[in-house]
Structure 1
Amino acid sequence: MIDLLLVNGVVVTMDKERRVLQDGAVAIHDGRILEVGPSKVLQETYQASKVINCAYHCVLPGFIDAHGHGGHSLFKTIATENINDWMPIITQTYKHFVTDEFWYYEGKLSALERLKAGVTTGVSVMGSMPRSDDPIFALNHAKAYNEVGVREIVCTGPCNPPWPHSFSRWVDGKRVMREVTYEEVLAGAEAVIEALHHANKDKTRAFITPFVIVTSVNPSAPTPVDQLFGLTEFDRYQARKIREIAKKYQTRIHSDAFGGMIHLAIQDKEYALLGPDVHLQHCRGISFDEAKILAETGTNVSASPGFGQINARTPVTELLEMGATVAITTDGTSPMTPFDMFQAMRRMQLLQQAALRDYFYLPPGKLLEMVTIDAARCVGWDDELGSLEAGKKADVITVNMAQPHLNPENMHVHRLVYQAVGGDVNHVIVDGQLIMDERNVLTVDEKQILQEANEEANRTIERAGLEIYMQPSKYFWGHARAYLDERRYTPTS
């Protein structure tokens, strides 16, 4: 007797042959896939404790969102009127105005949203810039994800200089601020990795995550070539320390990179934060030479489809043609991005096609690879995740195709990529456990999570004085262009 048998579905395997089985089945036992094949054959072969009839459904690997942020789910759209000040506003909030419990309540909401959109593995960078002065934030976040049942890759490490840095904790309702050294944040990150890497029966992993791979240039946009003056001593020191931690705990490195950083990083060949064990998000505005470096070093790349791609594009298509592994991510959920991988695929396709003025870039099959098997490679988990194959972990989702926007029911991969949304996901299985059944979450009380998240969000908004950043400008209604006409944020606010 096996645990689960999914039958009568269109199974999109994402295996090496990219098989699509029109009347397919998936047999699952002890958290792993036993066999994928025709429904008739598997029904004759296996008796199951639970059989799920997947008629009029697509069955495919759970999505892997290779980059997002812990904390953001309680700040959706806040400060979007102040978009150029958004990063400092939210970073200041993370550093000084969130409680330890905030990370638990936000983690529950974040995991729930990902679950209901078919994301079975999600990367969570702790904050807008990583915050690792104390391990409690990551520990609480991972606890929340584990209770919901979604895999999480917790990413934490040092933010950028100067050091020491001020951070606040809230004790008995009172703010306690202290100066934290660089060595202390590294120790906090180590404690997280030691506690969480391969924890919860390997549903939780932890990567070391400096904010960016080179600290001495613009951390959020490409740096002009005439401003690339070489690595600083601190750049070299950080690369060495990050490499030491990754080696000590046999974990991977995840970070952000923008144009110019890769050119600088490769100058320190011994400790450069590049290579097969490294995964870099964004890579917007990188040069052709830098793209070649990424491909030649086997560095993994992920990118999200935001407005920034218009100003400085990630050369996704060029990287793919050079042989690099590239994943599509949400970078969600703030300031205004959901954890919906279907939307992310379509937006990325549109942005790349528009930039290259070529309709034929990023066909639907490639897009689906970039949120399943390619994303699994990006995070170093493709030996067990990213495709439906015997022996792999049973992370499986179904999509309900019996809906007007997904019919006619043919060319199934096209239907999924071009018309589906996260709300069309009907069943979710993680590690062989059915955790969403016909959109009913089985592991947690969804209403309670929403109530607690709203309460925590309101407390944080009041504590941090964020109400001003929630107000629309006078140009919100009836105008073709928005202006703010007032200063809401100053660096000391």
Structure 2
Amino acid sequence: MIDLLLVHGVVITMDKERRIIEDGAVAIDKGRILEVGKTEYLLEKYEAKRVKDCNHHVVLPGLIDVHGHAGHSMMKTLAMDTPSVWLDMITRTYNHFTTDDFWYMDGKLSALERLKAGITTGTSIIGGSPRSDDPIFALNHAKAYSEVGVREIVCTGPCNPPWPQSFSRWVDGKQMTKEVTYDEVLKGAEAVIEALNHSHDDHVRAFITPFVIVPSVNPSAPTPADQLYGLTEFDHYQAKKIRQIARKYNTRIHSDAFGGMIHLAIQDKENALLGPDVHLQHCRGISFDEARILAETGTNVSQAPGFGQVNARTPITELIEMGATVAISTDGTAPAATFDLFQAMRKTQMYHQAALKDYYYLPPGKLLEMVTIDAARCVGWDDELGSLEAGKKADIITVNMQQPHLTPAFMHVHRLVYQAVASDVDNVIVDGVVIMEDRKVLNVDEKEILKEANEESLRTIERAGIERYMQPTKYFWGHARSYVDERR
């Protein structure tokens, strides 16, 4: 007798044939998919401890969010009226004013948000730029994800120079600040990887994550070609150390990249942070030559839709046409993103169709691939995740299609990509275990998480003295354009 049989759904497999099975079923046992097929056939073949009727639902692989940030779920929309100071404000807060409990509560809230959006695997950078001076922050975040039941890829490593840098940890209500060297931060990252990679029954994996692949140039935007002077000694040193850690723990590398960095990185022929074991977020403003390098080296790429795509686009259509694996991420959830990958698909399509002035780029099927099977490839987990196939992990979601905005009941992929939102996800299964049923979260007390997250967020804001960033400007109402007219 098998554990679970899902029946009478429209099953979007995302397998190699991209089968869509009307009145389909999925047989699940011991955390894995046994078979996918027609309901009538599987009901005859298997006796199940539980049969779940998925009538009026689409059944598909759990969504995979390949890039987001731990901490951000607790700091949403802060400093939205002053975005030019946001990065400095959030980095200072994370590095000096967060408690150990903050990271645990953010993990609970973040995992809950992702769960209710149908994301069964989420990548979390510990902080805005990675923080690894002490393993406790990553350990607490991963513990929270495990308790909620969602898979997490924890990413931590060195932030950018100068070194040494100061970091604070709060102990018994007191701020304990210390200077930390680059090598000490690397040791902290190693401790996280050693403790977390393949931990919690392989619900958690850990990647080594420098803030960017070349730290000597602009870390947040493309660098002009006439300012690419070559790799520095520290650039070479970081690449070498990151490569050593990845090999030592047999893990992957995740980082950010912007225009110019790939041109520089490839010059380190021995340790370049490029290749099939590397996943780069953003890649905005890269040149055609750099896109070609990414494709030729098999480097995985992801991008999140946002205003930055207007100023410097990630050439995802060109990368796809050259054979690169490209995924859509949320980069959630601060200052103004969400963990809604349905909306992210639509936004991605809109930005790139507008930039290319071509309505026909990024069809719905490709967009759905970019948050399922392509996303699984991006993080090196496609052997077990990203599609509904025999032998793979039973990470499955169902979307309730019996709603006005998702009716009529045909062209189901189009309907998901163009009309669905995160709150349409009704059921979530991870490792064959139902962790959300009819939108009720089963492993944790949702109301208690929201209460505790609110309280910890407000305590952190007060501790950091950043209440002013919660206040709107006098141009908030009734004006076509915002100004600040004061230093905050």
Tell me by how many angstroms 1:332 deviates: 0.1
Q: C-alpha separation between the residues in 2 aligned to 1:228 and 1:62?
A: 41
1:72 alignment partner in structure 2: 72
Q: C-alpha separation between the residues in 1 aligned to 2:287 and 2:205?
A: 32
1:292 alignment partner in structure 2: 292
CA deviations on 1:238-264 (whole Å, 9 max, x unpaired) are 000000000000000000000000000
1:327 alignment partner in structure 2: 327
CA deviations on 1:428-458 (whole Å, 9 max, x unpaired) are 0001110000000010000111011001001
Instruction: Give secondary structure in 1 for the equivalent of 2:414.
Output: helix
Tell me by how many angstroms 1:23 deviates: 0.7
Tell me by how many angstroms 1:176 deviates: 1.1
Q: C-alpha separation between the residues in 1 aligned to 2:466 and 2:338?
A: 21
The 5 A counterparts of 1:57-136 are 57-136=57-136
Say whether 1:212 aligns with 2:212.
Answer: yes
Q: C-alpha separation between the residues in 2 aligned to 1:197 and 1:176?
A: 28
The 5 A counterparts of 1:202-281 are 202-281=202-281
Q: Which amino acid aligns with 2:221?
A: A
Q: C-alpha separation between the residues in 1 aligned to 2:326 and 2:105?
A: 31
1:407 alignment partner in structure 2: 407
1:145 alignment partner in structure 2: 145
The 5 A counterparts of 1:6-45 are 6-45=6-45
Q: C-alpha separation between the residues in 1 aligned to 2:379 and 2:51?
A: 32
Q: C-alpha separation between the residues in 2 aligned to 1:465 and 1:401?
A: 46
Q: C-alpha separation between the residues in 1 aligned to 2:342 and 2:486?
A: 37
Q: C-alpha separation between the residues in 2 aligned to 1:273 and 1:370?
A: 23
Q: Which amino acid aligns with 1:168?
A: S
Instruction: Give secondary structure in 2 for the equivalent of 1:81.
Output: coil
Following TM superposition, where does structure 1 have runs of at least 4 consecutive aligned residues deviating by more than 4 angstroms?
Answer: none
CA deviations on 1:133-185 (whole Å, 9 max, x unpaired) are 00000000000000000000000000000000000011111111110001110
Q: C-alpha separation between the residues in 2 aligned to 1:51 and 1:282?
A: 42
CA deviations on 1:53-78 (whole Å, 9 max, x unpaired) are 00000000000000000000000000
2:378 alignment partner in structure 1: 378
Q: Which amino acid aligns with 1:414?
A: H
- How many pairs are equivalent? 488
Instruction: Give secondary structure in 1 for the equivalent of 2:201.
Output: helix
Q: C-alpha separation between the residues in 2 aligned to 1:184 and 1:49?
A: 51
Q: C-alpha separation between the residues in 1 aligned to 2:456 and 2:28?
A: 38
* Identity within the alignment, %: 77
Tell me by how many angstroms 1:52 deviates: 1.0
CA deviations on 1:306-342 (whole Å, 9 max, x unpaired) are 1000000000100000000000000000001110000
Say whether 1:467 aligns with 2:467.
Answer: yes
Instruction: Give secondary structure in 1 for the equivalent of 2:52.
Output: strand
1:487 alignment partner in structure 2: 487
Q: C-alpha separation between the residues in 1 aligned to 2:300 and 2:180?
A: 32
Q: C-alpha separation between the residues in 2 aligned to 1:117 and 1:283?
A: 26
Q: C-alpha separation between the residues in 1 aligned to 2:480 and 2:48?
A: 59
Segments of structure 2 that go 5 or more residues without pairing to the other structure are none
Tell me by how many angstroms 1:8 deviates: 0.2
Q: C-alpha separation between the residues in 2 aligned to 1:186 and 1:468?
A: 35
Q: C-alpha separation between the residues in 1 aligned to 2:221 and 2:261?
A: 10
Q: C-alpha separation between the residues in 1 aligned to 2:391 and 2:171?
A: 47
1:184 alignment partner in structure 2: 184
Q: C-alpha separation between the residues in 2 aligned to 1:82 and 1:3?
A: 52
Say whether 1:449 aligns with 2:449.
Answer: yes
Q: C-alpha separation between the residues in 2 aligned to 1:27 and 1:323?
A: 33
2:163 alignment partner in structure 1: 163
Q: C-alpha separation between the residues in 2 aligned to 1:357 and 1:485?
A: 37
Tell me by how many angstroms 1:48 deviates: 1.1
Tell me by how many angstroms 1:487 deviates: 0.9
Instruction: Give secondary structure in 2 for the equivalent of 1:199.
Output: coil
Tell me by how many angstroms 1:294 deviates: 0.1
Q: C-alpha separation between the residues in 1 aligned to 2:51 and 2:350?
A: 39
Q: C-alpha separation between the residues in 1 aligned to 2:290 and 2:201?
A: 38
Q: C-alpha separation between the residues in 2 aligned to 1:443 and 1:201?
A: 16
Q: C-alpha separation between the residues in 1 aligned to 2:81 and 2:184?
A: 35
Q: C-alpha separation between the residues in 2 aligned to 1:50 and 1:157?
A: 43
The 5 A counterparts of 1:298-447 are 298-447=298-447
Segments of structure 1 that go 5 or more residues without pairing to the other structure are 489-493
CA deviations on 1:82-129 (whole Å, 9 max, x unpaired) are 101111100000010000110000100000000000000000000000
- Given the two structures, how large is their TM-score scaled by the length of structure 1? 0.99
CA deviations on 1:378-404 (whole Å, 9 max, x unpaired) are 000000000000000000000000000
Tell me by how many angstroms 1:49 deviates: 1.3
Q: C-alpha separation between the residues in 2 aligned to 1:43 and 1:79?
A: 55
Instruction: Give secondary structure in 1 for the equivalent of 2:168.
Output: strand
Q: C-alpha separation between the residues in 2 aligned to 1:209 and 1:150?
A: 21
Q: C-alpha separation between the residues in 1 aligned to 2:52 and 2:351?
A: 38
Instruction: Give secondary structure in 2 for the equivalent of 1:201.
Output: coil
Q: Which amino acid aligns with 2:75?
A: F
Instruction: Give secondary structure in 1 for the equivalent of 2:301.
Output: strand
Q: Which amino acid aligns with 2:350?
A: L
Q: C-alpha separation between the residues in 2 aligned to 1:26 and 1:330?
A: 28
Q: Which amino acid aligns with 1:137?
A: F
2:174 alignment partner in structure 1: 174
Q: C-alpha separation between the residues in 1 aligned to 2:217 and 2:349?
A: 30
